[in-house]
Amino acid sequence: MCSIIGFTTKEITKEQILAQFAAVESRGPDMTEVLETKGAWLGFARLAIMGLSPEGMQPFTDGESAVVCNGELYGFRSLKQQLATKGYTFVSESDCELLLPLWQEYGVEMFAKLDAEYALILYDAKSGTVIAARDPIGIRPLFYGYTKDGAIAFASEAKALVANCHDIMPFPPGHYYKDGQFICYRDMTAVAAYTDEDLESVCTQIHDKLVKGIEKRLDADAPLGFLLSGGLDSSLVCAVAQKLMPNKPIRTFAIGMETDAIDLKYAKEVADFIGSDHTEVIITKQDVLTALPTVVRLLETYDITTIRASMGMYLVCKAIHETTDIRVLMTGEISDELFGYKYTDFAPSAEAFQQEAAKRVRELYMYDVLRADRCISGNSIEGRVPFGDLDFVAYVMSIDPKKKLNTYGKGKFLLRHAFEKDALLPEDILMREKAAFSDAVGHSLVDDLKAAAEERYTDEEWKACAEKYAYHAKPFTKESLMYREIFESAYPGMAKMVADFWMPNKDWEGCNVNDPSARVLANYGTSGM
């Protein structure tokens, strides 16, 4: 994970830009460089993952044009070979070194060609313009804002812009910026036609595409680890990865509260079954409450479920950073958005399910993807998300939603059935119902956060305080107010960076609830057991 920054005004000094990097130091602790081009400042703070030599340091420049990128470009070696036949030369093993040659060959058409999770800023000397772009899901973060003289600026996190910019907002995924316009180059939710394959063929495709997505993400020059909750998604990622790398146990990590950690036993069952080198991290109520302000500032959000789920994720990543040499972590995010949550069992129709999935995929960059990025990068580690593989996501979105509805008596049936024959996991894990991550770390985690909010405000105080934020995403519980006030203390007036609170679709029967946790749904059953 790295950090990038770009200013299109020369009113900002190099010293000011270097100072802004200090706000996101954890993203790129190895080395920092700021380059002045004819038309822009470009800055890069490095966390070396691919091409660990000094030659892999950015910005990459041909002497006039330049680029900075926080990303992983899959299949980059073959692309380099293709570009070499056209006369381009490369001096490092970095995947991002090929971006300038790609730009020179294809211009803005290059973005649709990338199989990558990335955010980049590029200065093109030929046209004298600055171009920025972000991957179609938004796995890698990017924000933009405007300086006092009206110039646009870009950075990996909003906190790197707050000292010099206003109107800071997330850069839209699947877009590039050029000549003052944000242009969509790929919408992952757009489906021209549903596939007409039968159930078994669909499951075969799910299986093969996910395995391929995991395999390509195992490529790293730095030590690799895996987050393992014991749920279906992370367990599949770990099991497939261990099968692909049979000569050495992969390193897996699970976290739980000291009193009622639901997932620890399931994670250990998976670890024992696949033979991983497994570590458990145990946390306390005090650990959670102490970390809360840090986590909210790190996340740059006040969203309830994002913060709840981040507490455990941040603390396990913190432990990994402090006790191991791991620099890359594989995670299980982006499965629920594609195959369904507990609440999508209440979808009134197949088309409603599809529309909800599209909404969730479009908003990933504000919620689950944001959580994974900040919790991992906040501890100087890079996160990789196999379920976010572009080919995989595009295919799952193209499956007839009638097949994705829970008519099987088991949520996410297609994903489970796709791996049933492999016997990579114990049957009880493969068929285990989903538990909300924040709850599965321990029901007491959420209960402790709610109790802290209760102690912080009287009923009259929270209602009065909530009115201050009625202009956008008004807090509706004491807990949501507590998060909003921590957020506002760090990012005053910037609440519109997040569209709203993540909640189930309240228009659906059975989903009109006042808490985002699946624990409050009627169909939760034994999911959290």
Contacts of 474 (CB under 8 A, 6+ apart): 466, 467
465 included as an active-site residue: no
Query: What number of other Cβ atoms are within 10 A of residue 278's Cβ?
Result: 20
Active-site residue, selected from the candidate residues 2, 69, 165, 317: 2
DSSP 271-295: HHHHT-EEEEEEE-HHHHHHHHHHH
**What's the gap between Cα 331 and its chain centre?**
9
Please state, in angstroms and rounded to a whole number, the distance separating the CA atoms of residues 230 and 264: 7
Nearest partner of 373 among 449, 263, 364, judged by Cα: 364
Please state, in angstroms and rounded to a whole number, the distance separating the CA atoms of residues 218 and 111: 23
Please state, in angstroms and rounded to a whole number, the distance separating the CA atoms of residues 299 and 305: 12
3-state secondary structure 192-217: CCCECCCHHHHHHHHHHHHHHHHHHC
Nearest partner of 10 among 205, 206, 149, judged by Cα: 149
Burial class (CB in 10 A: 0-12, 13-18, 19+), 374: buried
249 contacts 264 by C-beta, under 8 angstroms: no
Please state, in angstroms and rounded to a whole number, the distance separating the CA atoms of residues 362 and 357: 9
Q: How far is CA 280 from CA 191, 283, 307, 319, 380, in A?
A: 41, 10, 21, 10, 20
Please state, in angstroms and rounded to a whole number, the distance separating the CA atoms of residues 451 and 500: 23
Report the catalytic residues. Answer: 2
